[in-house]
Amino acid sequence: MLDSVAEKIKQIWNETLADIKREISAGDYEAWFSKLHLIEIKDDIAKISAPSKHVKDNVTWRYADVIAKALNACGCQINCVNIDVYDSNNPETVAKSEEGKNNKTVAETTVLDKKFTFKNFIVGKPNEFAYAAAMRVAESDTPVFNPLFLYGGVGLGKTHLMHAIAWHIKESHPQKRFIYLSAEKFMYLFIKSLRYKDAMSFKEMFRNVDVLMIDDVQFIGGKDTTQEEFFHTFNELVDNNRQIILSADKSPADLDGMEERLKSRLGWGLVADIHPTNYELRLGILQSKARKHKIKIPNEVLEFLSMKITSNIRELEGALNRVVAHATLVGSSITIDMASDVLRDLLRSNEKYITMDLIQRKVCEFYNIKLTDLTSTKRHKAIATARHVAMYLAKQLTAKSLPDIGRSFGGKDHSTVIHAVKKVKENIAMDREFATNLEILTKSIEN
Ligand code: ADP
Ligand code: MG
């Protein structure tokens, strides 16, 4: 049994090495790969032994992604490659003396997420500019905007777009070397290189790339030496006409703890922001994700989720997955009632941001009427329209019941709310300008 596992590992490793041999020069192969051993594959981690720290570091920095890719091409599902120094008497085990240091020295690489492709990226108004910019950079042979700086709130698709660029480059320009890493990883490698007085291989690793992508650069702020190194690496690559792609949660000018010269340098290329989602985009994304599930998900449930979960796309996806998982486990069908039950906590936290008071205030501002008019019984057309809209938005954007909504409008009946919602729906269908205004108003409430 054990033998057969060992055999299997050996076979995978031989195939992997054969793959790598085709990808890199004979000299490099001999220098870095001839003495490596695959020790084990556990979950999505491949453990590899190297003959020396020098080989280990170089292979980790330069080839961890190549190894992961080759292993995956041989049928493995590796997300992480751990390389350690081995025991010279027994090359197939990691040296005992090194094991204790593993926590400090094990480096891993992130393999690109298979789902994060351009094909799987749904484009809508809030992200169309960032999408177009990313596409342009991915398709062009030489840097068009340098750097491309993508920014936006959490869970809105920055990492997805960066991986999509990487996938595209892998397919259309396989000879190009690219590195994708988080800013945290960048700092980790840098600090590690200082600790081991090995700054050369750190520099070397970046010097050879055609495309450098660093995700979440806001984390570099405040760390002076890392900033300095980042700045040099950055300048050197730009001077050599290499493409740099960065992401952050804020625009370059707003990055905290970042040196002025670095901020200004980061803004030299193209700065593309991803706006908070709107209803159409959320629905589009959910419809696309829903098609990938085996279970039937009624469109009205997708509409319900898109209406209620406005925070970000990650949370929206999570909500859909929870509903699907619940339905599959319990064997029930998916309905709005079931979804609101399963997602009670999530709906409440999303609702927190949109209160009745906020809706009423925004509607009054928009239609230029007084709050007391909104909750009055006046039937003046402008006031009645604003009241209908406010009730409609309360129904769509909060989890309040119809009687509750009625009460917030000066003690009106729930049937008044039903009538208002119906009226607004009719107007949306008939009057384009009304529909557009409503969209603008919704956006201003959601953001
Ligand atoms: P960020 O890096 O901005 O925090 P991510 O790129 O990790 O966000 O996106 C969060 C999740 O939402 C991911 O699962 C991603 O695939 C998904 N997502 C984001 N934007 C889109 C989009 N436009 N179309 C489809 N999925 C998206
Ligand atoms: Mg991200």
CB 37 within 8 A of CB 72: no
Q: What's the gap in Å between 372 CA and the centre of ligand 1?
A: 42
Instruction: Annotate 352-385 with b (16+ C-beta within 10 A) or e (fewer).
Output: eebbbebbbebbbebbebeeebbbeeeeeeebeb
| pLDDT at residue 175, rounded to an integer | 85
User: Is residue 156 in contact with ligand 1, taking CB distance under 6 Å?
Assistant: yes
- Looking at residue 215, its amino acid is D
Could you tell me the CA-to-CA distances from 195 to 12, 18, 247, 307 in Å, in that order? Answer: 34, 34, 27, 51
**Index of the ligand 1 atom closest to the CA of residue 160:** 6
Q: What's the gap in Å between 436 CA and the centre of ligand 1?
A: 26
Q: What's the rounded Cα separation, in Å, for the pair 135 and 348? A: 37
Q: What's the gap in Å between 79 CA and the centre of ligand 2?
A: 17
245: which strand partners? 148, 213
User: Is residue 158 in contact with ligand 1, taking CB distance under 6 Å?
Assistant: yes
User: Is residue 278 in contact with ligand 1, taking CB distance under 6 Å?
Assistant: no
Please give all residues whose CB falls under 5 A of ion ligand 2, grouped by chain where several chains appear: 158-159
Q: What are phi and psi of 369, to 5 degrees?
A: -125, 170
- Which residue puts its alpha carbon closest to atom 25 of ligand 1? 121
- Which residue puts its alpha carbon closest to atom 14 of ligand 1? 314
User: Is residue 273 in contact with ligand 1, taking CB distance under 6 Å?
Assistant: no
Q: What's the rounded Cα separation, in Å, for the pair 174 and 146? A: 21
Q: Which of 125, 156, 184, when mutated, tests ligand 1's pocket best, judged by the most ligand atoms within 8 Å of its CB?
A: 156
User: Is residue 316 in contact with ligand 1, taking CB distance under 6 Å?
Assistant: no
Q: What's the gap in Å between 350 CA and the centre of ligand 2?
A: 21
Q: Are strands 37-42 and 45-50 parallel, antiparallel or unpaired?
A: antiparallel
Domains of the chain with bracketed CATH: 2-96 (3.30.300.180), 128-274 (3.40.50.300), 279-350 (1.10.8.60), 356-446 (1.10.1750.10)
Q: What's the rounded Cα separation, in Å, for the pair 45 and 80? A: 5
Q: What's the rounded Cα separation, in Å, for the pair 88 and 247? A: 43
CB 277 within 8 A of CB 156: yes
- Which residue puts its alpha carbon closest to atom 5 of ligand 1? 157
User: Is residue 317 in contact with ligand 1, taking CB distance under 6 Å?
Assistant: yes
Tokens representing 263 are 């901020």
Q: What's the gap in Å between 84 CA and the centre of ligand 1?
A: 34
Q: What's the gap in Å between 130 CA and the centre of ligand 2?
A: 14
Closest alpha carbon to 160 in 209, 215, 78, 234: 215
Q: What's the gap in Å between 270 CA and the centre of ligand 1?
A: 21
| pLDDT at residue 329, rounded to an integer | 92
User: Is residue 312 in contact with ligand 1, taking CB distance under 6 Å?
Assistant: no
Q: What's the gap in Å between 158 CA and the centre of ligand 2?
A: 5
| pLDDT at residue 186, rounded to an integer | 84
Angle subtended at Cα 204 by Cα 100 and Cα 12, rounded to the nearest 5 degrees:
60
User: Is residue 154 in contact with ligand 1, taking CB distance under 6 Å?
Assistant: yes
Side-chain half-sphere exposure of 422, counting CA atoms within 13 A: 6
**Index of the ligand 1 atom closest to the CA of residue 153:** 3
What tens-digit pLDDT sequence spans the chain (447 residues)? 456 778 888 888 988 899 888 888 888 888 889 889 898 888 778 889 888 888 887 787 778 878 888 888 887 878 778 888 776 555 445 444 443 333 322 233 557 888 999 999 999 999 999 999 999 999 998 998 999 999 999 999 999 999 999 999 988 988 888 889 888 888 888 887 877 777 777 777 787 789 999 999 998 877 788 888 888 888 888 999 999 999 999 999 998 888 888 889 899 999 999 999 988 999 999 999 999 998 999 999 999 999 889 889 999 999 999 999 999 999 999 999 999 999 988 887 776 568 899 999 999 999 999 999 999 999 999 999 999 999 999 998 887 889 999 999 999 999 999 999 999 999 999 999 999 999 889 888 876
| pLDDT at residue 353, rounded to an integer | 67
User: Is residue 155 in contact with ligand 1, taking CB distance under 6 Å?
Assistant: yes
Tokens representing 42 are 């556990």
- Which residue puts its alpha carbon closest to atom 4 of ligand 1? 155
Measured distance between the N- and C-terminal CA atoms of the chain, rounded to whole angstroms: 59
**Index of the ligand 1 atom closest to the CA of residue 162:** 6
